[in-house]
Amino acid sequence: MKQVQLAYGKTGLPVNVPDSAIVVEPRHLPALADDKAAVLAAMRNPQGTPPLKSMVGKDDTVAIVISDITRPTPNHKLVPWIMEELDHVPRENFVIINGLGTHRANTQEELAGMLGWDIVNTVRIENHDAFDDAKLVRVGRNSYGSEVYFNKTYVEAKFKIVTGFIEPPLFAGLSGGPKGINPGVAGIKTILDFHNAEMIGHPLSTWGVIEGNILQDAATQNCLMAKPDFMLNVTLNGEKQITGVVAGDVIAAHREGCKFVKETAMYAVDEPFDIVVTTNSGYPLDQNLYQTVKGMSAAAQIVKQGGAIISASECSDGVPDHGNYAKILKMRDTVGELLEMICDPEFCLFDQWQVQVQAMVQLKADCYLFSTLDPQIVKNAKFTPIDSVEATLQQLCQKIGPQVRVAVLPLGPLTIPYVR
């Protein structure tokens, strides 16, 4: 046996796995020696735009879109460094828009944890509300027939900046770039169209795929209707440290960042595994069951049909209580029935996309969950609750026999595993 440290909550979780287990993780990159210097250099030598400072007038209103608390984007570094670079602009001219998509609003204390009290106390901050039509404005219609609505404050700002980090997400190939705007500051109608069953079910709507990915294309089309004037994205390692910076044009700079992530996060295996142990990358990504589906989907890329996925995800924020995820899960008795319901064109309810992906994973493999959730809540979500990752793994290995193939994804969806 050998010990592997799983990313779980804020503390991690050590587990013993068979010596033959394949540990699947991105190539480790050290933190940049001076991340502030690297970010400032990127803003001063951007790709596809003039230097940031030269683009912003002293009287301009500046909107900075950030990722919410469910993402490990180092907002506490990026936002102050942007404002430092734009020190000719008065603080009262800035507005920080928390790009929540359909997630819950973050509390004052959470915002302080994300940005620092100095920013919270001196800069206007707006939690994006996708459900309030009065706070949205229509910016166009994309080629998929979707009406595109964005946050009114963002659209009306004289100068628009989007921040974020690039990682492999569930559907849109790679995150960051246009996704900071769509779905980050999009209206609910636009988000529902963006995540409809047809879009999610498309064969190229998957990990690491940019070209031909209709979700990435829709996000790009929508974003360009109210294009950010400047983008600042970073890449992170397993310790959530900055390993790379791209800045400038939201398309050109983002594509460059995507190349970097694909080179470091893609991991090929020769054949599928009987059992895959995964995580949701630890805090803050494993705060709830909704987000946990991402780590399971990553594992599903390399598990055998009829295999098993064991996920360790703390879920300190519950299912969560907000949104329709838990509600949709209760609408049918089986995952097959859930998938059939969601794929009906007449069905439309936000959060259906996460249930759709979950059902697709569960139809491929048995899913076990180690978390802090009440076991009945886990059962209601159609997962099997477990008390020990290690004990469950041992039991499954014994059941399958000595030829069992096991893979471990210690960092969950920060890795893009695939079968050659």
Q: What is the pLDDT of residue 167?
A: 83
Share of the chain above pLDDT 70, in %: 99
User: Which residue range is the domain that position 162 belongs to?
Assistant: 35-264
User: What would the two tokens of residue 145 be?
Assistant: 């027939």
Strands 136-141 and 147-151: antiparallel
Quick check: 351 and 377 in contact, CB under 8 A? no
C-alpha triplet 380, 171, 185: angle, nearest 5°:
90
- Residue 403's CB is within 10 A of a number of other CB atoms, namely 7
Sequence-separated (6 or more) residues with CB below 8 Å from residue 117? none
pLDDT single digits (tens) 329-367: 999 999 999 999 998 888 888 888 889 989 999 999 999
CATH number at 304 reads 3.90.226.30
Q: What is the pLDDT of residue 56?
A: 98
pLDDT over 90 (residue 391): yes
Please, what is the average pLDDT of the chain?
93
Q: What is the pLDDT of residue 211?
A: 82
Does residue 44 belong to any structural domain of this protein?
Answer: yes
Does residue 244 belong to any structural domain of this protein?
Answer: yes
- Residue 148's CB is within 10 A of a number of other CB atoms, namely 25
Mean pLDDT for the stretch of residues 39-47? 98
Mean pLDDT for the stretch of residues 105-133? 97
In this prediction, residue 172 has a pLDDT band, given cuts at 50, 70 and 90, of low
Q: Are residues 126 and 191 in the same domain?
A: yes
Exposure string of 218-227, with b = 16+ CB inside 10 Å and e = fewer, is bbbbbbbbbb
Q: Are residues 188 and 214 in the same domain?
A: yes
DSSP letter, residue 388: -
Q: Are residues 8 and 39 in the same domain?
A: no
In this prediction, residue 220 has a pLDDT band, given cuts at 50, 70 and 90, of very high
Q: How far is CA 49 from CA 5, 63, 155, 174, 372, in A?
A: 42, 17, 19, 22, 46
- pTM of the predicted model as reported, rounded to 2 decimal places: 0.79
pLDDT over 90 (residue 122): yes
Residue reference for tokens 């998957």: 206
Q: What is the pLDDT of residue 141?
A: 97
CA distance linking residue 414 with residue 420, whole number of Å = 19
